[in-house]
Structure 1
Amino acid sequence: MERKFYYNATQRLCSSLQLEESLQSYFELIKQVLPIDGIFLNIYRPEFSDIQFLAHVNDQLATPLENQVPISKEMEQLLQQADRPVIRIVNDISLDSVTQFVAPKVIPGIKSLILMRMVSGNTHLGIVGFYSKTVGVFKTKHADMIEPHMQTFSLITAFNLKDRNLLMLNQALTQQNRSLKRVIFTPNGVVGGNAGLKKVMNQVEAIAKLNTSVLLQGETGCGKEVIANAVHEQSSRSSRPFIKVNCGAIPETLIDSELFGYEKGAFTGAEKRKAGHFEQANGGTIFLDEIGELPLSAQVRLLRVLQNSTITRVGGHNSVQLDIRVIAATHRNLQAMVHSGEFREDLWYRLAIFPIEIPSLRQRRSDIPILVQHFLEVLSAKFNLSKLPRVSTEQLDTLNSYQWPGNVRELMNVLERAIIQSPQGPLNFDFISASKSEEAVETSSGETIVIDPSHASDKLVPLDIMISKYIEHAMRVTGGKLYGTGGAAELLDINPNTLRSKMKKLGIC
């Protein structure tokens, strides 16, 4: 009789390559002789300090599981004890601290169990839990009845885990793809669009459907191109070209031919007509990054394009009509450049119809964790890592306390460096705290400015000269305005009369 029962149990456990299906077939047999409400399988993963559930079956369901329950170091020590029995009865779950903590998180209502360890050779694979939702139902004869099935359970679990390992690369890629879609395709298509950039994204939503020019302002590396792309993607032009131009990267002698194109024979080497960036973007959007780097001569021609919606190719005479939306971006203070004569006032008014100020990373520190997760997934795919490197709470605190003068771009570079140094993790960012020398200063207007002494020369000049030069710079920034709102005295947070006295003393006209 016992031999027949063992044979039937083995047959059922080996009846399917799907763990949950073979477990269901076995459960239908074993519940006839055991007072159980269900069976579960889990494994202890010391590398992750957790217990992962593999499958669960009861009268209502048979399902594979992916639940992971983190456990404490004290619990790990209990699980690693060599004298833990292969099978044991726990008629009151409160008597087993690990099971009491772990099992109800996945399967509520468990009151008593028979726990059977699965072992393959010297390897502890995990646990089969035969459970009841009633206290004190199991007897020694019940444990004796299922103990012979331990090797079969171990065998099918080992095959299941091996199959998971063989598919690990495909699963990792699938998970990375799923995670990337989840993070990248957040509402508005911007990481942090519902958090630190929510105000910005509200402005994007307000302006996207219109054809109005947009000016994006913010520090280098804060994500101006990402926001420009979001404006384009939410506009009616989303299916048309989105042309990106770095105005600071074009030599002054080539600006006209790069932006507006040229006709065949316009100059030596012009063997055929070429469409410039504006013509390439016709019907869509052109993104003029670092617009403040354009020389005054190019600013005049750009203004004409914005006013007339036409261009003329270099060496040509016929105008080309454009239907185009312009998004400009800069990290510079264009208003100050207008006052100092470095930027045309009429172009400023034409571009700044709808300015959007993008906050720096240190102004939206709440976004750092989700940006870290996003970049870890991107970089893990880039480096073909099988799993995401871990970041401890302490190291995340290091990232949160750093000032990020290079903003989001610097954060990605820091994460890439950390992964290169330790691909399997945990990641360490002590190198940024060791090199941290800058200081964030908040002005009276609430603006945060980073001061980094590491960029200063070791050669010092008399303090009066430095003060004199700084006051002269403030006067250039304000266009010579000393008093009132936006004047040099206000920006320097000093009484106007005191500033006037200092200027007189230092010989500043």
Structure 2
Amino acid sequence: MKEQFYYQATHCLCSSLSLEVALQSYYEFVKQYLPIDGIFLNIYRPEHGDIQFLSHVNEQQAVALDRQVKISPEMEAVLQETDRPVIRIINDISLDKVTGFVAPQLIPEIASVVLLRMVSSDTHLGVVGFYSKKKAQFKPLHADLIEPHKDTLSLITAFNLRGRNLLRANQALSLENDSLKRAMFCPDGVVGAEGGLKKVMVQVDAIAALNTSVLMQGETGCGKEVIANAIHAKSNRAGKPFIKVNCGAIPETLIDSELFGYEKGAFTGAETRKAGYFEQANGGTIFLDEIGELPLSAQVRLLRVLQNSSITRVGGYENVDLDIRVIAATHRNLQAMVHEKTFREDLWYRLAVFPIDIPALRQRRSDIPLLVQHFIEMLAAKFNLEKLPRVMPEQLSILNNYSWPGNVRELINVLERAIIQKPRGPLTFDLLQAQSDEEVTTKAGQTIIVDPSHASDKLVPLETMISKYISHAMRITGGKLYGPGGAAELLDINPNTLKSKMKKLGLC
């Protein structure tokens, strides 16, 4: 009888390439000999710390599943025991710690089960569960009948998993293909090159082929590095090094050794010669981000490099000639810093040969839908999502209407947070709508965030605040009171009235 049972069961399991169809045929045959209400198949995924259900068949249906159940470290330890039996009868699943927790989440009414372990190359793949909705339904005879099916079930499960992985790979390739198609409409990888950044890209095209220094100005997170990449990619240095340096991240005591390198024995710990960032960029481009953070002492040495096109390593005497293109960037007002003597005027003129102003995200809202699609694709790949989560029109409207004080960088963070919360979508951004920050729109159409919540409960006299604010305006404008870009224009006040207030407050 056993031989005939094994032959018929194997024939059922091999009757279709579809796991669900094969299991349905197998179930219809086996239930004639076992008191079962259904069969489920799951695998253990140690890399994720969960059990994943692959299939479930009963009287009503045979379905493919992709449901994960997280398990505790203690349960994982049980599953990884090497001496676990190949087949077990559990006539009351509440007595088994792992099965009693996992199985009812798929089949709430399950009461007893026979578990057949699937093994591949001594690795525990998972189990096939033959279950009943009644307790104490299974006997050793039932286990003896189905134990020989272990290898066949392991094989078809392995093939099914391989097929699912191939399907995911094809879906990933399809997504990548769509992304590449969209990239064709984003010249040089700059999203918005034909929209809100069109004027900037005209400037990029004009300067890229030259070796002139470029200074990019714009708010934090608006994409200055992306434009620097585009300039380098369009230049005749495209195949050469592109070295990015965050000037604000280098401690003052290490600036010389990091930028210009050092010789062996120059100081304790200098066991070998090291090339600095400038030398690493030789022949290519160096991008000096947050240039306004450099201390005055470092500004002097940087000016010398720009003038002489050479460096001297720390502890060395020989000049190292450089063929290098410098792109600098800052979110600070360097002209005001020059007026305050915190940035060298001669370095300012050397860097600002060709200034490029990068608009804030709120100044190019037409690019937001493109950016949203672009970053969702990036984040979907990062989180290994099978399909892109959707953004409903009303949610996209919330993104379009938000002021984006953190610019593109903030947009990425908002999208990432939304995907973490709802990886399958649709994405929601109600938190942005609920923010209590007050927005003020200037005559120039700029949106500025005024957030009183950052102030303490201790208040100062109003005239003191006015004095501080006027002083701040004068610093921003480099001391300019009258005319375009002057403090009076920015504060929307008559210049004579402003001057009178300044005299009254003792500011002039």
Question: What is the match of residue 385 of structure 1?
Answer: 385
| Structure 1 residue 398, shift from structure 2 partner | 0.9
- 2:180 and 2:366 map into 1 onto residues whose CA distance is 21
Alignment of 1:82-121 (within 5 A): none
| Structure 1 residue 196, shift from structure 2 partner | 1.3
Question: What is the match of residue 235 of structure 2?
Answer: 235
Give the share of equivalent positions with the same residue, in percent: 74
Q: 1:404 to 1:334 in 2, by over 3 A?
A: same
Query: For residue 268 of structure 2, what is the amino acid of its counterpart?
Result: T
| Structure 1 residue 181, shift from structure 2 partner | 2.1
| Structure 1 residue 495, shift from structure 2 partner | 1.8
Query: For residue 209 of structure 1, what is the amino acid of its counterpart?
Result: A
Q: 1:368 to 1:476 in 2, by over 3 A?
A: closer
- 1:400 and 1:273 map into 2 onto residues whose CA distance is 52
Q: Does 1:222 align with 2:204?
A: no
Question: What is the match of residue 398 of structure 2?
Answer: 398
- 1:270 and 1:166 map into 2 onto residues whose CA distance is 50
Contact residue 437 and residue 449 of structure 2 kept, 8 A: no
Question: What is the match of residue 177 of structure 1?
Answer: 176
Contact residue 402 and residue 436 of structure 1 kept, 8 A: no
Q: 1:378 to 1:351 in 2, by over 3 A?
A: same
Q: Tell me how large the CA RMSD over aligned residues is.
A: 2.5
Question: What is the match of residue 459 of structure 1?
Answer: 458
Question: What is the match of residue 63 of structure 1?
Answer: none
- 2:166 and 2:337 map into 1 onto residues whose CA distance is 59
Runs ≥4 residues deviating over 6 A: 162-166
Query: For residue 193 of structure 1, what is the amino acid of its counterpart?
Result: A
Q: 1:345 to 1:363 in 2, by over 3 A?
A: same
TM-score normalized by the length of structure 1: 0.66
TM-score normalized by the length of structure 2: 0.66
Q: Does 1:408 align with 2:442?
A: no
| Structure 1 residue 165, shift from structure 2 partner | 6.8
- 1:183 and 1:289 map into 2 onto residues whose CA distance is 29
Q: Deviations over 1:415-472 (max 9, x none)?
A: 110111011111111112222514142245x555443334333432111100011112
Contact residue 195 and residue 366 of structure 1 kept, 8 A: yes
Contact residue 363 and residue 446 of structure 2 kept, 8 A: no
- 2:187 and 2:386 map into 1 onto residues whose CA distance is 28
- 1:250 and 1:285 map into 2 onto residues whose CA distance is 19
- 1:390 and 1:269 map into 2 onto residues whose CA distance is 54
Q: 1:394 to 1:494 in 2, by over 3 A?
A: same
| Structure 1 residue 166, shift from structure 2 partner | 7.1
- 1:462 and 1:361 map into 2 onto residues whose CA distance is 35
- 2:446 and 2:413 map into 1 onto residues whose CA distance is 26
Q: 1:287 to 1:438 in 2, by over 3 A?
A: farther
Contact residue 241 and residue 285 of structure 1 kept, 8 A: yes
State the SS of the aligned residue for 2:267: coil
Question: What is the match of residue 507 of structure 2?
Answer: 508
Q: Which ranges of structure 1 fall in alignment gaps of 5 or more residues?
A: 1-16, 18-120, 124-161
Contact residue 339 and residue 479 of structure 1 kept, 8 A: yes
Q: Deviations over 1:134-175 (max 9, x none)?
A: xxxxxxxxxxxxxxxxxxxxxxxxxxxx99977531222112
Q: Which ranges of structure 2 fall in alignment gaps of 5 or more residues?
A: 1-16, 18-59, 63-160
- 1:366 and 1:245 map into 2 onto residues whose CA distance is 31
Q: Deviations over 1:33-87 (max 9, x none)?
A: xxxxxxxxxxxxxxxxxxxxxxxxxxxxxxxxxxxxxxxxxxxxxxxxxxxxxxx
- How many pairs does the alignment contain? 354
Q: Deviations over 1:11-51 (max 9, x none)?
A: xxxxxx9xxxxxxxxxxxxxxxxxxxxxxxxxxxxxxxxxx
Question: What is the match of residue 341 of structure 1?
Answer: 341
| Structure 1 residue 357, shift from structure 2 partner | 0.9
Query: For residue 268 of structure 1, what is the amino acid of its counterpart?
Result: T
Contact residue 403 and residue 447 of structure 2 kept, 8 A: no
- 2:223 and 2:505 map into 1 onto residues whose CA distance is 41
- 2:435 and 2:335 map into 1 onto residues whose CA distance is 34
- 2:438 and 2:468 map into 1 onto residues whose CA distance is 22
Query: For residue 473 of structure 1, what is the amino acid of its counterpart?
Result: H
- 1:285 and 1:212 map into 2 onto residues whose CA distance is 11
Question: What is the match of residue 490 of structure 1?
Answer: 489
- 1:417 and 1:191 map into 2 onto residues whose CA distance is 21
State the SS of the aligned residue for 1:311: strand
State the SS of the aligned residue for 2:254: helix
- 1:428 and 1:447 map into 2 onto residues whose CA distance is 26
Contact residue 257 and residue 314 of structure 2 kept, 8 A: yes
Q: 1:182 to 1:456 in 2, by over 3 A?
A: farther
